[in-house]
Chain A
Amino acid sequence: MRAPRRLLWGLAGIVVLVLACLVGPLILSPVGDGDPVHAALLPPGTRVTVLDLSDGRTLVSPEVDLDHGEYLVHGRRRTTTVSAHDVVSKHDARLWLGSDRFGRDVLPRLLRGGRISLAIAALGAAVALLVGLGVGLAAATGGRVVDAVLMRTVDALLAFPLLLLLILVSALFRPGPTLLVAVLGLTSWMGLARLVRGQVLSLRTRSFIQAARVAGTRELRIWSLHYLPNLKAPLAQDTTLRMGNLVLAEATLSFLGLGIPASLPSWGAMIADGQRVMLDGWWLSLFPGLAITTLVISLALIGDGLQQTGDASA
C-alpha cells in the first residue's frame, strides 16, 4: 500500500524535531552559561568571545579588546576589565539563535525545552489513551447503566471549558511536569472514550464477530483477535491529532505560568519569557513558536495521513 504523501511529510517533521531535541543537547554545548551583563539580548547569528575566568565565572561578549595585558569586555551598558592572568581560556563562538535577557544561548535551551514539551505531550497522550480506552471499553461492555453513567460523565466533562479546568487544577496544586502530564491526560481522554465506545458498538454489529463465535473462538480471544486490531487505526489517528492539542495546551499553561516552572525550559515558557521583551528580542518568542507550529502541523499531517490510509483499506 502506498503511504500518502502528507503522512511522510508529517513523519519527517516529527523525526527531525525529535532527533534534534534528543541528540542536539548532547553534541551542542551552550555558549557560556548566561552572562546578563555583556551578552543579554544578542540577535541570532552574533559572533561572541567566551572568556573562562579562574574564579569559575564565564564572560560572553560580542566585543572583547586586549589592551596592555587586560581584557576589556564590552556590554550594552557596561564594560568590564579583566586581567589577562585571570583568563583561563578564550574562544570564539556563535549564538545561532541569539541570547535571552539573561545572556543565555537560546538554541540549546530550545532543544532542551523541546524534550520537555515532547515528553509532556507524549505522556499526556498516553494517559489519555489508557483512561479513554478503559472508560470506552467499560461503557461498551458494562451494560446499560454503566454505559449511561460513564457517557453522561463524559458529556459533562466535555461541556466544561478545558482551559478553565486546566487553570483551576494548576492553581490548586504546585505546578510541575508530573502534575502537567496528569492534568493534560485526565482532561483529554473524553473524546477518546467516546470514540472507543462507538467503534466497539459498531464492530459488534459486523458479522465477523458473529462468525468468530460460530467458529468457536473464546470471548477474550475475540477481543484480542478482532476488536483491538480494528480499534488500532482510529486510535492511532485520534492520538496523533490529540497530541497536537496537548502540545498547545502545555504551551498555553506554561505561557500563563501555570505549567512548567521557569527553571525548566519549555516552549510555552520560552514564548512567555520572550513576550516581555518582544521589541528588543523578537527571536526569543519566534523560534519556540516555530517549533510548536512545526510539531503541531506534523502531528496533524500524520493524523490526516493515517485517516487516508484507513479509508483506503476499509
Chain B
Amino acid sequence: MADPILVARDLVRSYPGRRQGERLRAVNGVDLSLAPGEAVGIVGESGSGKSTLARLLLALERPDRGSVIFEDHPISHLSEARLRPLRRGFQAVFQDPSTSLDPCLRVETIIAEPLAAHRIGDRSQRRLRVADLLAQVGLPAGAGQRRPNAFSGGERQRIAIARALAPKPRLLILDEPVSSLDVSVQAQILDLINNLRSHHQLSLILISHDIEVVREVCERVAVMHHGSFVETGQTAEVLERPQHPYTRMLLDAAPRIRYPDV
C-alpha cells in the first residue's frame, strides 16, 4: 500500500468547561490514516467532536497532544508561515454555505481566493480557471459575476466546492457538506462529490451525522463518540454488522432512506 496522505496520531484537544478548572475533551485520542485516493467517513451525533477533529486535521487549531501529518509534513506543529504553502494540498468544504461564502464578494473572487493566496497564475489565467471550475460544479459561466446571495443553498455549496478544488488539492475535508441542504439537493451534491473525486483522484474525509451520506461516498467509516473512535472498518461491514452498541444505536436512529441513483 502507498504511503498514507494523511495521518493523525493520538489527537487530543480540550476546551475549558463551564465550571472553573474543568476541561472538556472534545477530541480524545483519535488515530486515523488515509491512503491516497481513499474516502473515509466520520459519523457521530452533534457534540461528538467531529467538527473539532475537522479543524485539527485542517490545522486551524493546534492539538493539545498528538500530531497531524500531511504528506510527511507535521502540519499540526508548523508555524502559519511554513504551513501556508502546504495548504494548497488540502482544502475544505464547510457545513453551511450561507456563512462559508463572504456575502460581500463576487463568486469569481471567492473561487479564486486560494489561487490569489498562493499566487497561482495571473489575473486572466485565474479567470479561465474560475470559468473551468464553475463548469465542473455545474454552474453557468455568468455565475462568477454575482454574489452568493443570488444563489440557492445547493448552488452555494457548489461554489464552495469549486473554491476548494481551485488550487488542485489532493485531499478534501468535507465537514457536514450536505446537512444544511434539502434532501433532493443532498443527492445531487453527493453525486457531484463522487464524480469530482474519481475525476481528480481526490482523497476524502467526509464528516457527517448522517450514516446514509457516508454510505454514498466512503469505503471506510469511523464512528465517533465522546471524542474518540468507537468503531472503524469498511463501510458496508460496519453498517451491516455493527460491533459497538453506539453504532447500533446510530443505525437504528437513522431513517431508512436510500438515495436514488441520479
A residues lining the B interface (CB < 8 Å): 206-208, 210-219, 221, 225-226, 229-230, 232, 313-314
Counting from the closest, the 10 A-B pairs by CB-CB distance are A216-B117, A215-B114, A229-B104, A216-B87, A207-B100, A206-B99, A207-B94, A217-B117, A208-B102, A215-B113
Instruction: Summarize A's interface: helix, strand, loop or mixed.
Output: helix
Min distance, Cβ A17 to any Cβ of chain B, angstroms: 31
Min distance, Cβ B116 to any Cβ of chain A, angstroms: 8
B158 contacts the other chain (CB 8 A): no
Min distance, Cβ B252 to any Cβ of chain A, angstroms: 31
B141 contacts the other chain (CB 8 A): no
CA gap between A314 and B96 in the complex, in Å = 15
Contact B103 A215 (CB under 8 A): no
Contact B60 A208 (CB under 8 A): no
B residues lining the A interface (CB < 8 Å): 55, 58, 60, 80, 84-85, 87-88, 91-92, 94-96, 99-105, 113-114, 116-118, 147, 149, 160, 163, 167
Query: Contacts A216-B84, A218-B84, A230-B104 given: A211-B92 contact, CB under 8 Å?
Result: yes
- Taking CB atoms, residues of chain A closer than 8 Å to B99 are 206-208
Min distance, Cβ B177 to any Cβ of chain A, angstroms: 12
Contact A211 B94 (CB under 8 A): yes
CA gap between A314 and B55 in the complex, in Å = 26
- Taking CB atoms, residues of chain B closer than 8 Å to A215 are 87, 91, 113-114, 117, 163, 167
- Taking CB atoms, residues of chain B closer than 8 Å to A232 are 104
Contact B102 A207 (CB under 8 A): no
Closest to B116 in A: A217
Min distance, Cβ A93 to any Cβ of chain B, angstroms: 54
Query: Contacts A210-B60, A229-B105, A314-B149 given: A216-B88 contact, CB under 8 Å?
Result: yes
CA gap between A257 and B113 in the complex, in Å = 56
Contact B149 A313 (CB under 8 A): yes
